Chain A
Amino acid sequence: MALAMMLFAFSCLAVGSQQGVTTPVLERSVKAAFLYKFLGYMEFPADPGPSLVVGVLGADEVAAELAQITTGRNVGNRSISVRKLGEGDALTGLNLLFVGGDAALPEAVQRAAEKNGTVVVSERDNGLQNGSVINFRLVDDRVRFEVSLPAAERCNVRLSSRLLSVAYYVQKGGQ
């Protein structure tokens, strides 16, 4: 528990001190913290079971950071497990999938993920156009994110309006 608190304090420190210069290391940890917090603002249609599975594709640092943050923490009353993925791995059974900037996600795989109710988070400039639900952006050296509601609808995931209130940009339906 003490460890968890320490980690939590560290993550908050990371978030809190994210002003100004954004080093790549800090950016990773901020994104990991955001990924963890996204889970609290999502409502999955089907019961995801006792634990939420977050897959991280092509961003091992984020995966390590996320694993550290989520250790001993719950969202609602579900534990979180982090799965480090490589290209070509199966993407079934995931609730959240973070696709690192370098990794490529074939469209067919993305469609399959949508069908499985996996929320895809990317960090590319045209992430939302490529079908991601959430896309990280760097705005004024700050990590921000944009949200696509149609994509969320396709995944059958409901996003909390409180999450949308802090999104940098929200893509509404009908576009």
Chain B
Amino acid sequence: MIATAAGSVRIKLILTALATTFIALVVTTVSMLVYDLRSFQQGWVDDLTTQAELIATASAPALSFNDPRVARQNLELLRVRPQIEAGAIYAANGALFASYVHTPAEAPALPPKPGALGYAIEGGHMVVTHPIVEEGERIGTVYLSASYRLLDRVQSYALILIGVTLGSLLLAALVAHRLQQTITRPLLAMTDVARAVMQRRDYSLRVGERASGEIGTLIDAFNDMLAEIARRANALQDANRTLEHEMTVARAPSVRCCWPTAARTNSWPRWRTSCAIRWRPSAPASTSCASMPATRWLASAPAPSWNAS
């Protein structure tokens, strides 16, 4: 049960790390996607407007001096930008002056008259209408139509982001697996010792694992607790044994006793010479008469020269 608890701690730790990583990644991903799509659109608008402005500036003389050939040549320069599918220059009266299509087969139809100035997104195309101004007068209009594949962009971007998210999660799982060991290893060692203590009642066992922080404190406290329990258990055992012995002695007073030797009689109080163990009932059980060689009963012998006074 403890083992499964520790195991679940490991799994919980990894899951926590993964969940945190995932949420952080999702928030980052979504905000990046939104930002990218916004800047993608703005970038396209700026780009097309710049192109339109360049063409407008270059084509102003062509319009002024009625040279559609030069205007067409200017529009032909758009060939280097295949995304721009069609372009046109309209005169001030709205008549088509010059036009260009990248691939005639799939080009959208040019409007007969230029629309409102600015940009518009219609059916996968971005259309920019830009004025041609000279000497403060509008002498014509530039029209550009480019393929604007926002959905493709979203798809490819989302694919990349999903890939990155999965990769990051895998990496996070690996890192979390390694890092959680610093927490679970001491914890597992402690549960092992706890289990052994419960099974064998061996309070001399100690957790050998070292750790810092709360887990270190926990291990130290656990070891101290084991030591305290061991000490108390021993004391209790001793007390029990002594009590047992006392009871035995009380029941059979004729039991062999320790007699003071000649040397001892000099240092021991007179009343103590009767029996060392009787005199000191709390003596440890290991105190046997063997370590105090028995002598003859000297109760009636004259008192030793020792005198308290």
Contact = CB atoms under 8 A, between A and B. Distances in A.
A12 interface: yes
A40 B135 CA distance: 8
Interface string B44-70: 000000000000001011111111001
Interface stretch (B18-26, B87-95, B253-261, B271-279): B87-95
B65 A37 contact: yes
Nearest to A163: B61
A135 B244 CA distance: 140
Contacts of A143: 66
B97 interface: yes
A166 B67 contact: yes
Contact of A18 (B66, B92, B135): B66
B62 A166 contact: yes
Interface in A136-173: 142-145, 160, 162-163, 165-166
Contacts of B128: none
B61 A41 contact: yes
A81 interface: no
B92 A162 contact: no
A16 B95 contact: yes
Interface in B233-291: none
A166 B60 CA distance: 10
A40 B65 CA distance: 12
Contacts of A74: 135
Contacts of B146: none
Contacts of A8: 92, 137
Interface in B61-86: 61-67, 70
B139 interface: yes
A75 interface: yes
A12 B90 CA distance: 11
Given A30-B66, A75-B135, A12 B91 contact: yes
By size class, the interface of chain A is 20 to 34
A9 B70 contact: no
Contacts of A34: 64-65
Interface in A21-42: 30, 34, 37, 40-41
Interface string B106-145: 0000000000000000000000000000110101000000
A145 B67 CA distance: 11
A162 B58 CA distance: 7
A162 B61 contact: yes
A13 interface: yes
Nearest to B92: A12
A15 interface: yes
Nearest to B73: A165
A110 B275 CA distance: 158
Contacts of A162: 58, 60-61
Contacts of A16: 66, 91-93, 95, 97
A15 B135 contact: no
Contacts of A40: 64, 134-135
B53 to A, nearest CB: 15
Contacts of B64: 15, 34, 37, 40, 166
A165 B61 CA distance: 8
Most buried by A among B62, B63, B66: B66
Contacts of A15: 63-64, 66, 91
A9 B94 CA distance: 11
A165 B65 CA distance: 10
B142 to A, nearest CB: 15
Contacts of B95: 16-17
14 contacts: A15-B63, A15-B64, A16-B66, A16-B95, A37-B65, A41-B61, A74-B135, A144-B65, A144-B67, A162-B58, A162-B61, A163-B65, A165-B62, A166-B67
Interface of A: 8-9, 12-13, 15-18, 30, 34, 37, 40-41, 73-75, 142-145, 160, 162-163, 165-166
Given A16-B92, A143-B66, A160-B61, 10 more contacts: A12-B93, A13-B92, A40-B64, A40-B134, A162-B60, A162-B61, A163-B65, A165-B62, A166-B64, A166-B67
